[in-house]
Chain A
Amino acid sequence: MIQSRPDESGERLEDAFGQLLESLRPDLVRFAYWLARDRAVAEDVVQEAMLRAWRARLELKDAAAARHWMLTIVRREHARLYERKRLVTVDLSDVIAREDAALARAGDGELLDLRGAILRLPDEYREPLVMQVLGGYSTAEIAEEMNLSTPAVLTRLFRARNRLRAIYGLTPDVDCEPEGQQP
């Protein structure tokens, strides 16, 4: 999509690419937030992802695929964060309490319990759920990104939602993970 040429049309395309990235930023930060459970970390991850995207802009051939492409970069950048940084261990309940206060002000107050429950989901369940719900990833795409089998992703998605059922007074279903398909 982007031609790296020092002439005027190249600059216009680069401008368009920059604007495209900026238009995606709210979605990307939201996606990163649910992965990282921290607004500041989410901003950092998106900043780094945008930089990577800019450097790799020639790889994007279709502007319609930009959102999915960027979400994947954000997801990988978030994963990289934990590889390259020794992060301070924090009490999850403190994080939830802090984020609860902010989330309560982010509208839809009746969803606060559900938001808290999503934040409390273990990473292995929350990540595929966020990828599916916010990212629009298919099960096969999640499996490929997370290096899992498709049945393992289905199981994780099922378990994630099953844990959230309790918020609405629904009885969690018996765990029906198929034998031999451990995530």
Chain B
Amino acid sequence: MKCSDAHLAIGAEPQGTSPELEQHLRDCASCTQFRREMCDLDAQIHRAMKIDMAALKAEAPAGPSVRLVSDAPPASPRRSSLSNATHQWAMAASVLVALGVIFVLWGALPRHSLAADVVAHVISEPMPSPAAPLPPPALEGVLQGANVKMDPINHEVLFAQTCFFRGRLVPHFVVRSGDAAVTVLVLQDEQLKRPEHFAGSGYDGVIVPVQGHGSIAVLSRKPIDANRQAQEILSALHFLTPAA
């Protein structure tokens, strides 16, 4: 074996070995040194590639940010009658209370809420544009795979696909409602106690519990009455499996 052959073999597979290579290394200090260097480099390459994707994702600025919004109407503005000094003390106390609440709740907050995962999934799902209406069997096929049927609705179906979401296959479809494209995810394995409204990354929507059948998520990039849309979809859906 020539030195060039040994370098090629070592560079390609630093941990690799063969009788010819070992024989060559016994007689060649230069190639032995080269192998040592490449083994060290390889260990560093392994370390470099083993990045913590969770940390990378958590710090990623491009990820969707979703905030939960309340059903309660916004409080009407009030003129404060407090003096400036009192007002400042009140502000400071409020900040301290808020920090305390955040501190207490921090550990209890899920790293990825269902709403955040729904929005992230919808953002990542490519939809043909401009979207042409699909024939009814397209949606029927997708729903059938999840043991769900849907009565005809007064909306065109623009997209229908079975998607992998939180380790499950779920129906994902989009209907046209007025000038809005409304996305629906049928989440039979995601239980909720009450409707959860959310807004973030350009989407507004709601996740509505379905008695015994998980929940459905309804969201859109345009302003819609998500509750009404969700109820309309829910009234058309029929779950063919017994309620959990």
Residues of A within 8 A of B (CB): 18-19, 21-22, 26, 29-30, 33-34, 39-40, 43-44, 47, 50-51, 54, 102-103, 105-108, 111, 114-115, 118, 129-130, 132-134, 139, 153-155, 157-159, 161-162, 164-165, 168, 170, 173-174, 176-178
Contacts and interface: CB of A to CB of B under 8 A. Distances in A.
Contacts of A139: 12-13
Contact of B57 (A21, A39, A103): A39
Closest 5 CB pairs of A and B: A158-B11, A176-B4, A157-B12, A154-B12, A18-B167
Given A26-B54, A54-B169, A102 B49 contact: no
Contact of B49 (A34, A54, A154, A155): A34
Interface centre among A29, A44, A102, A132 (most CB of B within 10 A): A102
Given A133-B45, A161-B41, A161-B42, A154 B162 contact: no
B21 interface: no
B173 to A, nearest CB: 15
Contacts of A111: 44, 47-48
Given A54-B164, A154-B12, A157-B13, A30 B53 contact: yes
A19 B167 contact: yes
A115 to B, nearest CB: 5
B109 interface: no
B124 A33 contact: no
A21 B165 CA distance: 11
Contacts of A178: 8
Nearest to A103: B51
B41 A153 contact: no
A133 B12 CA distance: 11
19 contacts: A22-B166, A33-B56, A39-B53, A47-B124, A102-B56, A102-B59, A103-B51, A106-B53, A106-B55, A108-B47, A111-B48, A114-B48, A118-B45, A134-B49, A159-B11, A168-B40, A168-B44, A170-B37, A177-B8
Contacts of A54: 164, 169
Report the interface size class on chain B.
35 or more
B7 interface: yes
A165 to B, nearest CB: 6
Interface string B158-187: 000011101111000000000000000000
Contacts of B85: none
Nearest to B45: A133
B45 A164 contact: yes
